[in-house]
Amino acid sequence: MQPVTRQTFQLFWRHARRYRALVTVMVIALVMAVVLETIIPLSYKRFFDVLADGNLQPSTAGLLISILLNILWLNIVAWGLWRVAVFGNNFFQPRVMADLANSCFAYLHGHSYGFFVSRFVGSLVRKVNRLVDAFENVSDRIYWELGPLAIRIIAILTVLAARSLVLAGILLGWTLLYLAINYGFTLYKLRFEERRAAADTAVTARLADTITNNANIKLFTAQGDEQVEFGKLTERQRAITRFTWDLDGMMWAVQSVLMVALEFTLFYVAVRWWQRGRLTIGDFVLLQTYLLQLLHRLWDFGRIIRDLYKGLANSQEMVEVLNLPHAVQDKPAAVLLRVTRGALDFRQVRFDYSSTRPIIKGFDLAIAPGEKVGLVGPSGAGKTTLVALLFRFYDVTGGRIFIDGQNIADVTQESLRSQIAFVPQDPLLFHRTLLENIRYGNRDATVDQVKAAATAAYCDEFISQLPSGYDTYVGERGIKLSGGERQRVAIARAILKNAPILVLDEATSSLDSHAEQLIQQALAKLMEGKTTIVIAHRLSTINKMDRIVVVRDGAIHEIGTHVELVKRSGGLYRQLWELQAGGFIV
């Protein structure tokens, strides 16, 4: 068994064992039902033996009716046991599937920001769905098919051995050969099923990526090129799908030959034994009944095993994600962050995305409680990365970051992020109502508090004009709103959060001049009493900051007030200011 396959079974068992008592009852019911179904043909054997005697006495009819009543009673008991198995499973499987989905949700969201940056959303969603569906597939194959098949084989061999060791030996040898061939074929086919699952994932990921970027495809007239690339992926998927289906067809042909050979051999031997008086007519009925039961289920054995491993292959990608350690984790002894003043201190902070790509190089900056600091610099200088490190989306490669003297690496991530409000350049909203999106800043806020925050952020201006008002759904990622409207919703969310530390990343970049003037007033009120970091390219938005830090190549290049920096001859900030003031950059 491959390591990932073993890990998949371990994952499923960890979730299933929470319901051990129910599973025990289900297994007992299943075993008893299958055993009873194997015993019932013995009554039919006796029935036909009595008929074959040709005795037409009244007592014979009574005996036959007695046998039929026994068969009826056994079927009623078996029916009741199957109901226990069915309704027990109806509770068990959906419950475990829900538990698996919740575990995936929790573990996925425990991964760092960098994990999601390098992965497609559609691909991750598909992996979660495949894992959940795989549990249903795997448990169905084991509980409803492989388990009953194994019990049935043992019971049938036991009954036949009591009648004829030769017949039981032939059936046992044939069954072992049949199962070995099917299992070996399944292992051979497994790697192709894995390739097929990978091809399916690639198609899904490409489709999701193109749908998300459909505007870019139209703007750059790239539909033809995208269609060609998508066609290559679907062709790869088609080829591996056909190959796996052809393998199935060949295996079915082999199964047919084996089954015909078994039926001929058993009945040939049975006829010889009948000639010697060792078997009765009822034994032939018994043998044929068992063959019909067994061959019907063994015919499906190859499909069962292939479906089983297909489910395991489909779940493999998500199991690997669940086994991938979280890049950013709370320490075992992590404590809650307590913010009383809001002082920030970056001490010799270094960060590398890889060993060949250093981003932050010995960044030193102390920000006093309530101080307003602007971060400016060329694109790629590391401004946004510094904010990501403050939120612990990544862990620093070297150095430390303190908040009120507490190393953020020593506190819980949740308590850290609860003390910082963030307004990004391009806010992403949930496909939920405006009320829910704004309330995300404080899930316990009342409707009146939400509306007050929206009014302070000048959201109420456009929300009041919507037919559904605050109950309007904003679309996936907030696509139904303009960039400025999304930004105002993000500001309202930050106002509602009311955290002692505030980070603004080009928070007014998507606003027109009138809206920007209103938002600047709202932001000024929002920043009162808060330690604030403002990332900006438009220098006019930060010229009133207490200090401005010019970042270049991951380190502090200049630092001072706006007045001090514009007076510095040859300084980078002065060059940027002159360009923007001259109209080259707006």
Distance CA 582, CA 579 (A): 5
Query: Please, is 230 exposed, middle or buried when counting C-beta atoms within 10 Å of its C-beta (0-12, 13-18, 19+)?
Result: middle
Mean local confidence (pLDDT), 168-176: 88
Mean pLDDT lowest among 14-23, 39-48, 402-411: 39-48
Across 100-119, b (16+ Cβ under 10 Å) vs e yields beebbeebbeebbeebeeee
Angle of the 301-323 helix axis to the 3-16 helix axis, nearest 10:
90
Residue ranges of the domains in the chain?
3-323, 344-419+537-586
Mean local confidence (pLDDT), 158-182: 86
Q: How many CB atoms lie within 10 A of CB 451?
A: 19
**Between the ranges 182-186, 211-215, 480-484, 504-508, where is the mean pLDDT highest?**
211-215
Distance CA 442, CA 444 (A): 5
In DSSP terms, 335 is beta-bridged to 411
Nearest Cα neighbor of 42 from 151, 156, 172 is 156
Distance CA 101, CA 442 (A): 26
Q: Is the pLDDT of residue 174 over 50?
A: yes
Q: Is the pLDDT of residue 320 over 80?
A: yes
The pLDDT tens digits of the residues spanning 47-95 come to 877 777 766 666 777 888 898 999 899 999 999 999 999 999 999 999 9
Across 234-270, b (16+ Cβ under 10 Å) vs e yields eebbeebeeebeebeeebeeebeebbeebeeebbebb
Q: Is the pLDDT of residue 586 over 60?
A: no
Nearest Cα neighbor of 374 from 169, 226, 564 is 564
Mean pLDDT of the chain: 85
Residue 261: predicted pLDDT? 86
Distance CA 154, CA 31 (A): 11
CB 392 within 8 A of CB 310: no
Residue 7: predicted pLDDT? 86
DSSP state of 527: H
Which residues, in sequence order, are CB contacts of 486 under 8 Å at separation 6+? 426, 427, 429, 474, 478, 510
Q: Is the pLDDT of residue 518 over 80?
A: no
Residue type, 582: G
Mean pLDDT lowest among 154-168, 181-195, 560-574: 181-195
Distance CA 168, CA 554 (A): 78
The pLDDT tens digits of the residues spanning 337-360 come to 999 999 999 999 999 877 667 889
In DSSP terms, 358 is beta-bridged to 352
For 344-419+537-586, CATH number? 3.40.50.300
Mean pLDDT lowest among 28-37, 111-120, 401-410: 111-120
CB 287 within 8 A of CB 167: yes
Residue 265: predicted pLDDT? 81
Q: How many CB atoms lie within 10 A of CB 428?
A: 11
Q: How many CB atoms lie within 10 A of CB 224?
A: 9
Name the fold adopted by 3-323.
Answer: ABC transporter transmembrane region fold (1.20.1560)
Which residues, in sequence order, are CB contacts of 394 under 8 Å at separation 6+? 112, 113, 114, 327, 328, 351, 385, 388
Distance CA 205, CA 187 (A): 28
In DSSP terms, 534 is beta-bridged to 374, 504
pLDDT grade for 4, boundaries at 50, 70 and 90 = low
Distance CA 370, CA 343 (A): 8
Tokens representing residue 266 in the block: 């058993």
Whole-angstrom CA distances from 9 to 1, 97, 235, 315, 376 are 10, 14, 32, 10, 52
- pTM, entire model: 0.75
Residue of higher predicted confidence among 26 and 545: 26
pLDDT grade for 213, boundaries at 50, 70 and 90 = confident
Mean local confidence (pLDDT), 314-323: 84
Q: Is the pLDDT of residue 584 over 50?
A: no
Residue 465: predicted pLDDT? 86
Residue 488: predicted pLDDT? 85
Domain pair 3-323 / 344-419+537-586, same fold = no
In DSSP terms, 365 is beta-bridged to 346
Residue 513: predicted pLDDT? 67
Q: Is the pLDDT of residue 240 over 80?
A: yes
Residue 515: predicted pLDDT? 65
